């Protein structure tokens, strides 16, 4: 038996399965409370779905996809501060996003420091160049309707319709939806406005743009995503007596006398007083596979959620092609373009772009050549300098299982962190946090899981 797998044990011992943001957040919160934590991650790196890797062709550290956060992601920001990583991010002091269209025309969505929230975005909506004047007024009316909506009181109704249906019922039209509403919901919900629930669509505005001054300011990491969290989180956990086991997969939960008392890793059993499962819902389902009907785990049923894909196109040019850190494109499949040369610390004189395509079912099926042609065609009017530049690399990163879909009805399927099984707690962006699949949801779930564990053990 591998002795490395056995903790010394006097303190209460909790195994956390999964080294994504949910697992790291739970492990840090537990370590802080004096619990002996063992975090087990099946891969050799931390970060889960927010990870970076070294591209063998270029030697550069690339993210699996652009990850941004907003100032309203308070738990994610606190987590980064706790592990000493926040300094490696940039957070706008004032919201400003360039919005281009396929003809190259540019507008701006921004907030002004001279007005209180939510009026601070009003001037930019009234001057928004991708809509006619009447449609701009329409959008303002739509924002007011969202602000007036009590989404918890109306939850059942809002969870039974798509956000598009709701917007159409509230005076919006196809043009305002395409040129403004979907521009914002696509990257936040990673789904089309036709499919995402009205509840989540409304949440995406109420908790950011309409939540208070600066709440929609955009932030991003200046280093690779795994680099951002790995050392800080490891040190935070280990310096409090916890440990991380990397590259080992938990295959089963161990149940003794009606409670979860550990996990099985290969041939080994790691005993614990409690277990937090911080893996996605389908991974959790696999942990339960083959449970006999007489164990308490047979009563646990993970939700039936669906995955939505994101496709990222990493493109290098032999010269600068873009001035702003990012922009979004109306009516175009390229959606968001990030200027990684400006955003990352390892910036070089040339231009590195990351085109991020959400809800990318179509693009996930396209071949690299097709994606390359599409990107060249779409980028030309938006960033004319790309026509004169030579492409130095083109790398496609497809993430078919990026986020769970916030379809109507999904909120009621998301389980709370505490379960009916003694010793078993859940975490993960898909558990009940009130947030869509985001880093914020993951970190929140981890913190809630640690609180649920404390409540279960009466401490």
Ligand X SMILES: Cc1cc2nc3c(=O)[nH]c(=O)nc-3n(C[C@H](O)[C@H](O)[C@H](O)COP(=O)(O)OP(=O)(O)OC[C@H]3O[C@@H](n4cnc5c(N)ncnc54)[C@H](O)[C@@H]3O)c2cc1C
CB of 412 to ligand X, least distance (A): 19
CB of 172 to ligand X, least distance (A): 25
CB of 12 to ligand X, least distance (A): 21
d(CA 196, CA 342): 32
CB of 389 to ligand X, least distance (A): 25
Three-state secondary structure readout of the chain: CCHHHCCCCCCCEEEEECCEHHHHHHHHHHHHCCCEEEEEECCCCCECCCCEEECCCCCCEEECCCCEEECCCHHHHHHHHHCCCHHHEEECCCCEEEEECCCCCEEEEECCCCCCCCHHHHHHHHCCCCCCHHHHHHHHHHHHHHHHCCCCCCHHHHCCCEHHHHHHHCCCCHHHHHHHHHHHHHHHHCCCCCCCEHHHHHHHHHCCCCCCCCCCCEEEECCCHHHHHHHHHHHHHHCCCCEEEECCCEEEEEEECCEEEEEEECCEEEECCEEEECCCHHHHHHHHCCCCCCCHHHHCCCCCCCEEEEEEEEEEECCCCCCCCEEEECCCCCCEEEEHHHHCCCCCCCEEEEEEECCCHHHHCCCHHHHHHHHHHHHHHHCHHHHCCCEEEEEEEEEEEEEECCCCCCHHHCCCCECCCCCEEECCCCCCCCCCCCHHHHHHHHHHHHHHHHHHCCC
For ligand X, give the closer residue by CB, 39 or 125: 39
Q: Give residue 108's Cα distance to chain centre.
A: 24
Query: Pattern 418-437, binding to ligand X, x per CB under 6 A?
Result: ----------xx-------x
Contact positions with ligand X (CB under 6 A) in 202-241: none
CB of 250 to ligand X, least distance (A): 4
Binder among 7, 48, 232, 302 for ligand X (CB under 6 A):
48
User: CB under 6 A: which stretch of 35-43, 161-169, 291-299, 364-372 binds ligand X?
Assistant: 35-43
Query: Pattern 301-320, binding to ligand X, x per CB under 6 A?
Result: ---------x-x--------
Residue listed under structure tokens 């690339």:
62
CB of 442 to ligand X, least distance (A): 3
CB of 388 to ligand X, least distance (A): 30
Binder among 5, 14, 16, 22 for ligand X (CB under 6 A):
22
Give the total of residues touching ligand X (CB under 6 A). Answer: 38
Contact positions with ligand X (CB under 6 A) in 64-83: 64-65, 67-69
d(CA 364, CA 333): 12
The yes or no reply on residue 242 touching ligand X (CB under 6 A) is: no
For ligand X, give the closer residue by CB, 139 or 253: 253
For ligand X, give the closer residue by CB, 125 or 255: 255
User: CB under 6 A: which stretch of 117-125, 194-202, 372-380, 395-403 binds ligand X?
Assistant: 395-403
CB of 359 to ligand X, least distance (A): 12
Query: Pattern 250-269, binding to ligand X, x per CB under 6 A?
Result: x-------------------
User: CB under 6 A: which stretch of 34-42, 115-123, 296-304, 373-381 binds ligand X?
Assistant: 34-42
The yes or no reply on residue 41 touching ligand X (CB under 6 A) is: yes
The yes or no reply on residue 283 touching ligand X (CB under 6 A) is: yes
User: CB under 6 A: which stretch of 59-67, 106-114, 159-167, 383-391 binds ligand X?
Assistant: 59-67
Residues that bind ligand X (CB under 6 A): 17-23, 40-43, 48-50, 64-65, 67-69, 249-250, 278-280, 283, 310, 312, 399, 402-403, 428-429, 437-442
């Amino acid at each position: 038996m591998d002795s490395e797998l056995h903790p010394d044990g006097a303190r209460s011992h909790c195994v956390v399965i999964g080294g994504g943001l949910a697992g790291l957040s739970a492990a840090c919160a537990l370590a802080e409370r004096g619990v002996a934590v063992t975090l087990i991650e099946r891969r050799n790196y931390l970060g889960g779905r927010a990870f970076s890797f070294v591209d063998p062709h270029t030697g550069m550290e690339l993210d699996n996809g652009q990850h941004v956060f907003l100032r309203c992601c308070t738990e994610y920001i606190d987590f980064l501060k706790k592990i000493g990583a926040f300094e490696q991010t940039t957070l706008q002091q004032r919201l400003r996003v360039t919005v281009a269209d396929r003809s190259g025309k540019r507008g701006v969505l921004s907030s002004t420091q001279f007005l209180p929230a939510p009026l601070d975005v009003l001037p930019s909506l009234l001057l928004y160049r991708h809509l006619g004047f009447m449609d701009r007024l329409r959008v303002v009316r739509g924002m007011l309707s969202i602000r007036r909506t009590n989404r918890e009181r109306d939850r059942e109704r809002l969870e039974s319709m798509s956000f598009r249906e709701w917007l159409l019922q509230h005076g919006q039209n196809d043009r305002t939806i395409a040129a403004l509403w979907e521009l914002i919901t696509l990257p936040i919900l990673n789904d089309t406005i036709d499919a995402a629930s009205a509840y989540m669509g409304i949440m995406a505005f109420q908790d950011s743009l309409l939540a208070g001054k600066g709440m929609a300011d955009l932030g991003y990491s200046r280093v690779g995503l795994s680099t951002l969290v790995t050392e800080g989180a490891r040190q935070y956990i280990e310096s409090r007596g916890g440990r991380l086991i990397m590259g080992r997969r938990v295959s089963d939960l161990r149940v003794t006398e009606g409670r979860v008392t550990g996990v099985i890793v290969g041939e080994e059993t790691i005993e614990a007083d409690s277990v937090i499962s911080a893996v996605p819902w389908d991974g959790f389902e696999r942990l339960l596979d083959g449970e006999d009907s007489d164990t308490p785990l047979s009563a646990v049923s993970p939700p039936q959620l669906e995955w939505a894909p994101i496709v990222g196109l990493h493109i290098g040019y032999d010269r600068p092609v873009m001035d702003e850190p990012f922009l979004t494109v109306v009516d175009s499949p390229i959606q968001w373009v990030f200027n990684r040369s400006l955003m990352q610390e390892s910036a070089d004189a040339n231009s590195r772009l990351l085109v991020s395509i959400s809800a990318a079912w179509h693009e996930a099926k396209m071949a690299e050549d097709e994606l390359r042609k599409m990107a060249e065609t779409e980028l030309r009017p938006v960033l004319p300098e790309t026509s004169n530049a030579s492409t130095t690399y083109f790398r496609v990163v497809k993430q078919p299982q990026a986020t769970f879909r916030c379809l109507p009805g999904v909120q009621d399927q998301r389980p709370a962190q505490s379960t009916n099984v003694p010793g078993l707690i859940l975490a993960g962006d898909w558990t009940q946090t009130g947030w869509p699949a985001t880093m914020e949801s993951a970190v929140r779930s981890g913190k809630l899981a640690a609180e649920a564990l404390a409540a279960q053990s009466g401490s």
